[in-house]
Structures are given as structure tokens and as C-alpha cells.
Amino acid sequence: MKMNDDGQLLTTTITLCYRGKTLQISDIIIDTGSSHTVFSPDILDTIGVTYENGDAVYEAYGIGGTVPFYTKVMDFIQLDNLKAEQIEVDVGMLPNSHKGLLGLDILKTHGFIMDMDKLELYKPNSN
């Protein structure tokens, strides 16, 4: 999968599905410093993702301080040829109008490798 480099951030495009509604999102930050994958509620609202009673809520800690998040289970997340089903993501406000962060929960769990020379994100034996 191609990564984009704007000189400051590495980004990619992913596809999400929630309760049968699919959304392709570009400019998702590839963030090896984030333990979880996080999406802005403004972006996910377009496919019906909203806070509901019973959703787990917690505070995430980062360089900018703490921010409340809730979790949702997506039908699937697709990154190029990898399709991860029934995957939990965090939903919360991100700085600088970012759409989302692709975190270690997906990158590490699924064994992605980042080739910085080619600006590619791939899984071994799938490239």
C-alpha cells in the first residue's frame, strides 16, 4: 500500500465499514507512536457512528494532554489487500483537524512493514 509523505506526516487511505455502511478515508496518519487506531467523530458520523449508551469511554493521554474517547467495533477496516473484520477503534477529537490515526493495534497485530525508501506499507509475502 502506498504511503504519502507531505514532509511532516506519513499518510495512507483506508476503507471502513460500520453496520453495512462503507467509507473510504484518505490522509489517515500512520502513527507508530499511537497504541490505538483513532478516528475523528466528524468523519465517522457520515456512516452513522455516534456515541451510544453503553459505549466504553476513557481518557487517552498524549503530547497534547488528555482527551475523552469512546470505542466502536467496525464491520471491517480495509488497507489495500488486508481486510480486518470486527475490529475495535477509538473515536475522539484529534488535533489539527486530522481525520484519523492508524495505530500499533493494527500495524503491529497484522505485521505491517514500512519501507521508507519506497514509501510503502505492506505485509510480508503480500507485496
Could you tell me the domains of the chain?
4-122 (2.40.70.10)
Q: For the chain, give the mean pLDDT.
A: 91
User: Comparing C-alpha atoms, which of 88, 114, 86 is closest to residue 29?
Assistant: 114
Query: Does an H or E element contain 34, and which?
Result: none
Q: How far apart are CA 103 and CA 33, in angstroms?
A: 7
Is a pLDDT exceeding 80 seen at residue 63? Answer: no
Give the least confident one: 17-21, 60-64, 70-74.
60-64
Q: Residue 65's pLDDT is what?
A: 73
Q: Residue 27's pLDDT is what?
A: 95
Q: How far apart are CA 26 and CA 14, in angstroms?
A: 7
Residue 37, number of CB atoms within 10 A of its CB: 24
Per-position b or e across 71-102, b if 16+ CB within 10 A of its CB: ebebbebbbbebeeeebebbbbebeeebbbbb
Q: Residue 39's pLDDT is what?
A: 96
Q: Residue 66's pLDDT is what?
A: 80
pLDDT in tens, 9-38: 999 999 999 999 999 999 999 999 889 999
Q: Residue 81's pLDDT is what?
A: 83
Is a pLDDT exceeding 70 seen at residue 127? Answer: no
Q: Please tell me the pTM assigned to this model.
A: 0.89
Q: Residue 97's pLDDT is what?
A: 85
User: Comparing C-alpha atoms, which of 106, 93, 104, 96 is closest to residue 16?
Assistant: 106
